[in-house]
Structure 1
Amino acid sequence: MPRAATRQRKQSFLRRLITPVLAIAALGYFGFHAMNGELGVVGRAMIERQVAELEGELQLLVAERRELAARVSLLRPESLDPDMLDERARLYLNLVHPDELVVLKPQTVAQ
């Protein structure tokens, strides 16, 4: 009876490196994007800086809105301020009293 010979193949050197190389490549890819990606460490610092800038801008806009609301409240019919009405009328109608002195400012030309 002939003996059945089993053939054992020795794995090649490159075949043994495929799995570790792929794992290192995947870790390197995800590690790089964890640091430099849009939501990574560097990206988070940029987002936090933008948040601080926008909060500062929000505070300025809120203060400006409060000031405008206060000026508008002076023009409401229930609490009409005569000085504010006079100021607005002179500005929009371009009128002055005969005994007033008018100082004209030169307009700057945008370059």
Structure 2
Amino acid sequence: MWTKYHKKRRLGRFVLPAITIAFVSYFGYHCIHGDYGLKATEVFEQRRIERGKELADLVARREHLEKAVALLSDGSLDKDMLDQYARYQLTYSKDNEVVIFNK
């Protein structure tokens, strides 16, 4: 019950703005520094680019290995390729040959 002797408090006017500022500050901070914030998005983008390059390298290596396997398959056995692998695995060479290994 309100009486005419009731004093209005100045502190009551600042409760709602203080809660609003705290609410906005909390979510604003987490928009920038949180797990899915702007800084984390930059890190995710860098990882995506790095892994894209790694994927391209692995795809190129796989294609190279698939070509080498195709040359050694039963249907189209390439004798030069077979000779090359045999010499590499057994470290065999003739006396008058110069061997250069490329990886």
TM over 0.5, yes or no? yes
Aligned match of 1:33? 30
The structure, 1 or 2, with the larger RCO (C-alpha pairs under 8 Å, 6+ apart) is 2
Q: 1:51 aligns with which of 38, 48, 51?
A: 48
Q: Which moved more, 1:43-52 or 1:68-77?
A: 43-52
Query: What secondary structure sits across from 1:53 in the alignment?
Result: helix
Percent sequence identity is 37
CA apart distance, 1:27: 0.2
What is the root-mean-square deviation in Å for CA atoms of aligned residues?
Answer: 2.4
* TM-score normalized with structure 1 length: 0.72
Partner of 1:107: none
Q: Which residue of 2 aligns with 1:100?
A: 96
Alpha-carbon shift at residue 6 of structure 1 (Å): 5.5
1:14 maps to 11
Between Structure 1 and Structure 2, whose CA radius of gyration is higher? 1
- Structure 2 segments unaligned to the other structure (5+ residues): none
State the TM-score, normalizing by the size of structure 2.
0.77
For structure 1, list consecutive stretches of 5 or more residues without a partner in the other structure.
Answer: 105-111
1:79 maps to what in 2? 76
1:42-61 alpha-carbon deviations (Å, 9 max, x no partner)? 22222222212211221111
Cα distance in 1 for residues equivalent to 2:43 and 2:30:
15
